[in-house]
């Protein structure tokens, strides 16, 4: 990443074994040039209605269970869309 990363900026975090998530930079890890602390700010997904077989309907929603949690990430995991 060529740009200097500032506290308060938002980046997508690429995960190897999980879905990517949106994070806000809250701090730089002390004594590290390549690690940052990010707070998960991924929004909840839209409500989607489905037709149930045999009649009826139900709704599904993606809920971010990690909202506001903080994680240490390497700069190579960060990207912008």
The whole-angstrom separation of Cα 21 and Cα 42 is 6
Is 5 domain-assigned?
no
Point out the residues of the chain with pLDDT beneath 70. 1-2
Is 70 domain-assigned?
yes
Please give the pLDDT value at position 1. Answer: 54
Q: Position of tokens 């309907």?
A: 57
Please give the pLDDT value at position 63. Answer: 87
Question: pLDDT per residue over 24-38, tens digit each?
Answer: 999 999 999 999 999
Please give the pLDDT value at position 2. Answer: 52
Q: Is 62 helix (H, G, I), strand (E, B) or coil?
A: coil
Please give the pLDDT value at position 31. Answer: 95
* Other C-beta atoms lying within 10 Å of the C-beta of residue 70: 13
Nearest to 68 by CA among 45, 36, 40, 28: 40
Is 4 domain-assigned?
no
Domain span including residue 39: 10-79
Count how many domains the chain has: 1
Is 3 domain-assigned?
no
């Amino acid at each position: 990443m060529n740009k200097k990363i500032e506290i308060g900026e938002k980046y997508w975090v690429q995960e190897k074994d999980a879905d990517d998530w949106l994070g806000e930079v809250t701090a730089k890890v002390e004594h590290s040039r390549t690690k940052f602390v990010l707070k998960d700010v991924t929004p909840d997904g839209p409500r989607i209605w489905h037709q149930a077989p045999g009649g009826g309907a139900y709704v599904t929603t993606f809920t971010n269970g990690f909202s506001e949690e903080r994680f240490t990430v390497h700069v190579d995991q960060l990207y912008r869309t």
